[in-house]
Amino acid sequence: MPDDGSLKVTPQPVRRQVEDRLREAIVDGRFMPGDHLSDRLLCELFGVSRSVIREAVRRLEAEGLVDVLPNRGPFVAFLSPAEATQVYEVRTVLEALAGQGFAERASDEEVAELRAVFEEIAATRPGTDRTALLRLKRRFYDVLLRGCRNAYVARMLDQVLNRNTQLRATTLSDPKRLPHTVAEIRRIVEAIERRDREGAWEACRDHVTQAARVALRILNQQAREKAETGSRDPAATAA
């Protein structure tokens, strides 16, 4: 066979394909925190064997996206307020580094691409489908991570954002949050367009800080309500 100079494309293993699709389903909010990821459900959804499903679930458990409970099986993981605080502390630094790197190293075409995705976010209104908003934010970060030209920051922030998905879904559940989100991202984009690396750092840091305040307020309220419900539940008291 003659060598035409083309690169051979090796298909991904089935397990990796299932892992990627399941991660995407969790990140997009199609599976929500607390949802049971039964073997039967996932086998039917992805059309693969139970062994493939279990291997993919193990990988996502290692990333913190899935909790496997004894005698109950895998569930989409919850984040406690304490865990969420740690996630946001890490995300703040990584996102600021990504914004700074993008302002310094992204091409003009990538800057324009980031602006275009932002304009789509800015055009949304309260009540917009949460999954659609999450996908728009995911596209924004895809461009940001590609253009920051730092593979380590991109890899670590991508993993943190996956773990952070339910928190972003939580902040989007606050109808007052969206206009603030748009204003904060506008500040990021405008700093980048000026090639203002320090301004991009500060804008990214402030965006994550404000998102953290909203998410932690909601999570703490949910934790208090859960504790109050549990204290009134005779079965919970007996346990």
Range 61-65 average pLDDT = 85
Would you identify the CATH topology of the domain 81-225?
A: Four Helix Bundle (Hemerythrin (Met), subunit A) (1.20.120)
Amino acid at 191: A
Query: Is the CB of residue 200 less than 8 Å from the CB of residue 192?
Result: yes
**Helix ranges, the chain (H):** 14-27, 39-46, 50-62, 81-105, 108-122, 130-147, 151-163, 165-172, 177-193, 197-232, 234-238
Separation CA 66–CA 55 (nearest Å): 12
The string of DSSP letters for 10-61 reads: PPPPHHHHHHHHHHHHHHTTSS-TT-B--HHHHHHHHT--HHHHHHHHHHHH
Each domain of the chain, given as residue ranges in start order, spans: 14-76, 81-225
What CATH code is assigned to 14-76?
A: 1.10.10.10
The three-class DSSP label of residue 1 is coil
For the entire predicted model, the pTM comes to: 0.75
Higher pLDDT, 116 or 231: 116
pLDDT attached to residue 95: 98
DSSP state of 9: P
Taking only the tens place, the pLDDT of each residue in 76-93 is: 988 888 988 999 999 999
pLDDT of residue 173: 60
